[in-house]
Chain A
Amino acid sequence: MMEVNEHDTSQYNELIAFRLGEQEFCVDIMSVRDIRGWTPTTPLPHSPDYVKGVINLRGSVLPVIDLSARLGFRSTEPTARHVIIVTQVGSQSVGLLVDAVSDILTITSETIQPTPDVASELARCFMKGVLAIEGRMISLIGLDSVIAATHEGTGTLN
């Protein structure tokens, strides 16, 4: 982890890191509303494979996306050990199904490197960059593109 300069917080971002299989990813902590254990979802008809369905989040209906499948990896067979990260972008909330939450990172924006070209095109549209932390590579996920693309996937009118 990096040291935090108390006096200049605008330069620093806190991120939540999580694992999907062998790889590590992270999202901006400001867009995370909740982290909860896996609960069975209600599948939605005619939804793309990566939409696991919807769950009841304190009275509102929250769609859960299998992030692994969304990024073009294997789809997840969720167990009680899996985790749903509830994220919010704008007025919209979406749950991301991931293997496990691993870390909270504090980074400066300079630490973010551009996504290497080798990544698949699908993965690259959701990644805003990569971070090298203690010898690990962590990909930063752009939530807005995940949520926007989810919308397209449903073929909605709104």
Chain B
Amino acid sequence: MDTMAAIKQTFFQECEEQLAELETGLLAIESQQVDDDTINAVFRAVHSIKGGAGAFGLDELVRFAHTFETVLDLLRGSQIEAAPPLVKLMLRSSDTLADLVRYSRDGGEMDQARVGQLHDELMQVVNPVATPACAQSAEPHAGDDEAGGDDPEAFFPVTVTFDDLIGENSDDDGQIVFNVWFKPKPELYAKANDAAKLLRELRALGEADIACDRSDVPLLSELDPEGAYLAWNVRLVTSAGESAVRDVFEFVEFDCEIRIEAEPSVEPDFEFTPEPVAEIGPAEAPADSPAIPQAVLERLAEFAPEQAAKAAAPSAGASPAQQAQTTIRVDLDRVDRLIDLVGELVINQSMLAQRVTEAGIARLSDVAVGLDDLEQLTREIQDSVMAIRAQPVRPIFQRMSRVVREVADMTGKSVRLITEGENCEVDKTVIERLTDPLTHMIRNAIDHGLESPEERVQAGKPEQGVVRMTAAHRSGRVIIEVSDDGSGINRERVRSIAVDKGLIDADAQLADNEIDDLIFAPGFSTASAVSDVSGRGVGMDVVKRSIQALGGRIAISSRPGKGTAFTLSLPLTLAVLDGMVVTVAGQTLVVPLTAIVETLQPKNSDVHGLGETARVISTRGAFIPLIDVGRELGYRDCEADPVGSVAIMVESENRAQSALLVDGIIGQQQVVIKSLETNYGHVFGVAAATILGDGRVAVILDVDAIVAGSRSDPARSEGANRKRNAA
């Protein structure tokens, strides 16, 4: 049962990949990039889902996938045109298929009416041309073995045609004679397949006469040691059907030339020897073949076990061109464990380096040079390990195209989604936690950002609105931008709503960008009625919070009549952080570099008292609150003398600047983030901990919390004292 559950889980994982493939393909078709490969890929995706679903008895899924597949098959056979309405129907079908897969996995009830209706619509496409049954038999390949829909294997398009249908040549005993001509390409051997094994498998089907065709073997001087020159003629007498014969070559279909022909003659003829017979022994076959020496094969298998495994296990999602790219599935826990270990390796390495320096060993000594190499290696290992977790943002972008379709339908607006930079890679956790904020932003862009088609025409814009979603790497972060070409933010309205809701004073003087930022304020929602689309009581403040929880920032820019753009800046990974290492009251702390704008050494004349305890620092004509980190964290009671200290200018929420006063700066380094919560709990003003080069723990400052805390200082420190006393 457990095995079954595991297989089922794999199936669902593969389904996700197939669905992504399906959607990519359909979107390509939608943008008029119709080629045979794309249509084949789409067909294969649906077919594989159907096949797997059949094996698990997911009848509903099979039925829908089958109808969908039938339509795609017509498309593939050029019997119908990929006209826009049909593509739209297919996109909706792909959404429904995705839903069906998810419901099959997680349980729950599907909206039967919707499935039924879509099913009928698909049938209407099929019916004018042919009945589903006809369509099935009209498939140009041998589809008989899949007619039951219970073929768990992936589908591969068959590249050869054959004239005779099965059964025609069978004699009374059901024995058929096949003439098989099989010529491996070098790729077959490169994928660690073995012609001898295939021939042996063929022989297992019945009586086989195997002759080696050596006519192509060149002279030794012209022989490419990795080429493939041998071909085999096989005369096979078998009771198994043509599909069984074909199945033997299933894994190598693209890596060989193959002809399988059923012979009209009925009687098995054992004396039949078309050419000198070379008996293929199990072990000698590769040795026989001058093309690929056994040693080469073995080494290939050694170097590319994944490729070998891949070749043995067909991946239905990959189109032939993509097959070279191989993947393995690894439990995320294992990857995380590896990342943890590498983190420790980095710490250990820097500890070692520090000890060596302390021991007074010269920089040019062998030890120091060796350590430098070690450092470089460790860095490379760390980068590579981090790259394992990195995933392209493509899946999430694809999911957004569905959101766009749904919201466009709901609001009656015509929307085109343009995506760029789907290959941009980000940490898996970041990607997972981006779905909700991005969904919300897209919904907002369509619902609030874009005008209705009539308004757009009036404004002299094309009827179809454009939502653009781009991803790009910029200075160690990933920047995701969601923009629309709508009317831009109506600042008058935003302002009046903010006043109504008591977010700002009626006479407050706000710059344009400050008004724009108001939409991030908690409890703000511009829709006059809570619409089905972007309502739900959450606003952009939730988006902002979830982005910040990821260590990211969100910014908005809007031009009246031109549109609005939201820019997300996110860290590439959640495991490491660029930090500035500082000292405060004898303690070593890390300030996240992303928060820091600049550092400066305050002069006495720059610092001014404000009220009883607060101090500000003047820089470039502005007065910026000065926060003594040591006091804020309770490391010391009295204010530090600003002279001789360092002020770190930080930008926190709302782009407000503050100056953090620390005793000194040690340097800048990348630190591995360690959770304090695992063994202890959340600590005010501390985002996490890290381990420095000397092996000691240092805390990473939570800049936003410290800045916010300093504003409500009296209340908070009282609370902290109370806590301490109670303990």
Residues of A whose CB lies within 8 Å of any CB of B are 40-51, 53-56, 58-63, 91-94, 150-151, 153-158
Contact = CB atoms under 8 A, between A and B. Distances in A.
A93 B698 CA distance: 18
Interface of B: 340-341, 343-344, 347, 587-588, 632-635, 674-686, 689, 691, 695-699, 720, 723-724, 727
A49 B721 CA distance: 11
Contacts of A46: 633-634, 683-685, 720, 723-724
Contact of B681 (A41, A58, A93, A156): A156
A154 B679 contact: no
A94 B680 CA distance: 8
Contact of A151 (B681, B691, B723, B724): B681
B698 A45 contact: no
Contacts of A49: 724, 727
Nearest to B343: A59
Contacts of A53: 697
Contacts of A54: 676, 680, 689, 697
Contact of A45 (B341, B344, B685): B685
Contacts of A154: 680-683
Contacts, number: 101
Contacts of A47: 683
B633 A59 contact: no
A45 B675 CA distance: 15
Contacts of A43: 587, 635
Given A42-B699, A50-B727, A56-B695, A158 B685 contact: no
A64 to B, nearest CB: 10
A50 B695 CA distance: 23
Contacts of A55: 696-697
A60 to B, nearest CB: 7
8 contacts: A42-B689, A42-B696, A43-B587, A61-B674, A93-B679, A153-B723, A154-B682, A157-B682
A45 B686 contact: yes
A58 B344 contact: yes
B696 A56 contact: yes
B724 A48 contact: yes
A150 B724 CA distance: 12
A61 B689 contact: yes
Contacts of A41: 697
A59 B696 contact: no
A92 B635 CA distance: 26
Nearest to B351: A56
Nearest to A57: B679
Nearest to B686: A45
Contact of B680 (A50, A56, A59, A150): A150
B631 to A, nearest CB: 10
Contact of A91 (B588, B634, B678): B678
4 pairs of A and B residues whose beta carbons are closest in the complex: A156-B681, A45-B633, A48-B727, A59-B344
Given A42-B698, A46-B633, A46-B634, A61 B683 contact: no
A59 B339 CA distance: 12
Nearest to A152: B727
B723 A45 contact: no
A40 B696 contact: yes
Contacts of B689: 42, 54, 61
B125 to A, nearest CB: 54
Contacts of B347: 56, 59
Contacts of B675: 61
A24 B681 CA distance: 29
Contacts of A56: 347, 691, 695-697
A49 to B, nearest CB: 7
Contacts of B724: 46, 48-49
A46 B632 CA distance: 9
A60 B686 contact: no
Contacts of B691: 56, 59, 61
B340 A45 contact: no
Given A45-B685, A48-B727, A59-B691, A94 B679 contact: yes
